[in-house]
Amino acid sequence: MSTPINVFSEIGKLETVMLHRPGNELSNLLPDELQNLLFDDIPFLEQAQKEHDYFAEVLQAKGIEVLYLEDLAAESLRNKDIREKFIKQYLDEANIFNQTLKTKLQEKLTAIKDNRELVDKTMAGVQKVELPKYKAVSLTEMMDNSSPFVIDPLPNLYFTRDNFATVGHGISLNRMYSSTRQRETIYGQYIFDHHPRFSGKNIPRVYDRNNVSQIEGGDELILSEKVIAIGISQRTEAISIERLAKNVFDRKLGFNCVLAFNIGQKRKFMHLDTVFTMVDYDKFTIHPEIEEMLEVYSITPKNTGELKIAKERGRLEHILAKYLHRDSVQFIRCGDGNQTAAAREQWNDGSNTLAIAPGEVIVYDRNMITNKALERAGVKLNYIPSSELVRGRGGPRCMSMPLSRKSLTQ
Ligand SMILES: NC(=O)NCCC[C@H](N)C(=O)O
């Protein structure tokens, strides 16, 4: 049976991937809102787009199908009812409480006839000056008086890794840590419910955005056909991992173990994939700062349907070798073992590689010390520029969501 989602590894030859080209949402970033919107600086949009286009071209030159979130979302709004429902939900989740304002915004968005333009507008947000005679009426608006926006932009959308994640033939439509990123998951909802490529294709949903506990895709790594690794992090709670594991086991998706990696709650390594990625059958990048303190728990199904949880003992290399049935695994350290280089290059996503085939990855060109260590370990590197993209704190893995990878066992 052909299925639109096939992701049973981190490293199988990448066949289809979803990106988002940064758009006007970045032109609406304000210095006072950076922290709230999870950014560290204001990127130069045109340059960020050039860097992103280069990323897409590298993928396409390798024969990988590149789909864009914004196109898929637009194609999902297939009829008037779906479009209306989308606009209404978008406004509800943007906390538009005042009915008069809501009606005005509804009219403004409905008047955009082209679906791609509509989707782009919802991503960019709405400034108060775009609404003639805007006046704060609701308590929320009065409290928000200093902001020039009635609806905030969604600047983190180009990190397509996070708002949903592919797991085998299924997806985990995520509940995000922050309200700014929770609104991003609406696009995934419409894509999987209504896009002709996915709707009606029985795609198991192993997590849903309406769950109360958080989980983000940067924490979800598919280590093999049997084993998933999930970070317990600033963004992902332990309870979410238990929920996801139970769903994966109950629905018999092929996986028989979830390894939970407790990486601590820090902004600088917000997701597991900012400190640890898989680059080959037996090779991983790792940020040395987490290596010693990392705790790993295994979650496996009991015959009763309950989960068996055990703390794993010993070194991480040994735990990985055991679960991946390898004699040993090799760690390639961010900064090549130098503490200063490791801290600097991890901050600029030196450990955040995107594997496009076993032993072949995409990396940011700027992380020269880590990149040399990867090369020395025999990993093939494809470099992409990163002056502007990096300002959002994410690298090649964060900026891509694989929809299909070639099976490693074929
Ligand atoms: N998987 C990732 O690590 N994604 C990067 C997300 C960066 C974004 N500014 C965020 O804080 O959510």
Is there a domain that residue 245 lies in?
yes
Nearest CA to ligand 1 atom 10: 38
pLDDT tens per residue across span 273-319: 999 999 999 999 999 999 888 999 999 999 999 999 999 999 999 99
* Banded pLDDT at 1 (limits 50, 70, 90): low
289: Cβ below 6 Å to ligand 1?
no
156: Cβ below 6 Å to ligand 1?
yes
184: Cβ below 6 Å to ligand 1?
no
DSSP 157: G
Task: Report helix, strand or coil for 254.
Answer: coil
Q: Chain-wide mean pLDDT for the chain?
A: 96
Ligand 1 nearest-atom number relative to CA 161: 1
* Banded pLDDT at 141 (limits 50, 70, 90): confident
Mean pLDDT, range 129-137, rounded to an integer = 86
Do 400 and 18 meet the contact criterion of CB atoms below 8 Å apart?
A: yes
Mean pLDDT, range 17-39, rounded to an integer = 96
235: Cβ below 6 Å to ligand 1?
no
Mean pLDDT, range 160-184, rounded to an integer = 97
Give the pLDDT score at 410.
58
Ligand 1 nearest-atom number relative to CA 270: 3
371: Cβ below 6 Å to ligand 1?
no
pLDDT tens per residue across span 52-107: 999 999 999 999 999 999 999 999 999 999 999 999 999 999 989 889 999 999 99
CA 258 to CA 167: how far, in whole Å?
Answer: 12
Is there a domain that residue 199 lies in?
yes
Give Cα 73 distance to the centre of its chain.
Answer: 16
Is there a domain that residue 370 lies in?
yes
Is there a domain that residue 330 lies in?
yes
Nearest CA to ligand 1 atom 4: 398
Give distance in angstroms: CA of 241 to centre of ligand 1.
Answer: 19
Tally of domains in the chain: 1
Is there a domain that residue 207 lies in?
yes
Ligand 1 nearest-atom number relative to CA 398: 1
104: Cβ below 6 Å to ligand 1?
no
8: Cβ below 6 Å to ligand 1?
no
In degrees, rounded to 5, the angle at the alpha carbon of residue 22 between the alpha carbons of residues 383 and 6 is 70
Tokens of 358: 């076993």
* Banded pLDDT at 407 (limits 50, 70, 90): very high
pLDDT tens per residue across span 341-374: 999 999 999 999 999 999 999 999 999 999 999 9
Where residue 275 sits, what CATH number does that domain have?
3.75.10.10
- Give percent above pLDDT 70 in the chain: 100
User: Ligand 1, residues 159, 349, 386: which to mutate, most atoms within 8 A of Cβ?
Assistant: 159
pLDDT tens per residue across span 56-71: 999 999 999 999 999 9
Is there a domain that residue 115 lies in?
no
Give distance in angstroms: CA of 394 to centre of ligand 1.
Answer: 5
Is there a domain that residue 77 lies in?
no
CA 116 to CA 121: how far, in whole Å?
Answer: 9
Is there a domain that residue 127 lies in?
no
Alpha-helical runs (H) found in 99-219 = 99-110, 115-124, 139-143, 160-163, 179-182, 185-194
Question: Between the CA of residue 396 and those of 92, 200, 253, 348, what are the distances in Å?
Answer: 32, 31, 27, 11
Q: What is the pTM of this model?
A: 0.97
pLDDT tens per residue across span 212-234: 999 999 999 999 999 999 999 99
232: Cβ below 6 Å to ligand 1?
no
Give the pLDDT score at 161.
98
Give distance in angstroms: CA of 141 to centre of ligand 1.
Answer: 28
Nearest CA to ligand 1 atom 11: 38
Q: Which residues are catalytic?
A: 398
Q: Judge residue 130's burial from the number of C-beta atoms within 10 Å of its C-beta, 0-12 exposed, 13-18 middle, 19 or more buried.
A: middle
Q: What value does the CA radius of gyration of the chain take, rounded to a whole number of Å?
A: 21
Task: Write out the residue range of the structural domain in which residue 352 sits.
Answer: 156-405
Nearest CA to ligand 1 atom 6: 394
Question: Between the CA of residue 86 and those of 34, 194, 292, what are the distances in Å?
Answer: 27, 11, 46
In degrees, rounded to 5, the angle at the alpha carbon of residue 121 between the alpha carbons of residues 137 and 58 is 145
